[in-house]
Chain A
């Protein structure tokens, strides 16, 4: 149980393109989803938190107009990197938390999306 699917797993595109990444909880309802970014040999850095039906909360230094997050249902959140540039190249990972037990439930992670901007 507790499977999170992330798609696509790998994206290569030209500078200026907008890229959408989907994150789905397959067998549970995710009341909260998180988006992280990970650079090589570094740990995961939280970008934003989204709750179903409400606006995402962005971490300091993360541009909300650059990284658009939509959490339209209890099983789907999307991250759109708008007008991507080479410095946006990174490994983006989503996670989801849901079920009973509230905040003490573990987060379950997708397998990440490797984004490469040429």
Chain B
């Protein structure tokens, strides 16, 4: 069955540093992958979508890579700020016709001032 793995341990970094989060998946050949941010008690907010034929995508301080051979995506936040503290979710479309998203368990990022 499809499986998405994210590091369940919180990532603590200093303000100004680059945060790197990992998403690994198995039994999957997704056409695209998405990253979301979720704050406590709120719904996820869409950040970036990267397609299988794209190696890298950037949006402001965010960068996502997608390695379909390794079955891995890396999510980077450069020049991190305390306001970036949140849980970041990796999501992939399921292999049914409706393409609902299946989410990883998320990685909590804490940026220290």
Contacts and interface: CB of A to CB of B under 8 A. Distances in A.
Interface size class of A (residues with CB under 8 A): 20 to 34
Interface stretch (A12-20, A40-48, A67-75): A40-48
Contact of B32 (A34, A49, A51, A104): A104
A6 B43 contact: yes
Contacts of B105: 42-43
Given A104-B32, A104-B49, A104-B51, A46 B43 contact: no
**Consensus secondary structure, chain A interface:** strand
Contacts of B99: 103
Interface size class of B (residues with CB under 8 A): 20 to 34
A34 B101 contact: yes
A88 interface: no
B98 A43 contact: no
Interface string A106-118: 1111111010000
Contacts of A78: none
Nearest to B4: A43
B101 A107 contact: yes
A84 interface: no
Contacts of B101: 34, 46, 95, 107
7 contacts: A42-B105, A43-B105, A46-B102, A93-B44, A104-B51, A110-B43, A112-B42
Interface of A: 2, 4, 6, 32, 34, 42-44, 46, 49, 51, 57, 91, 93, 95, 103-104, 106-112, 114
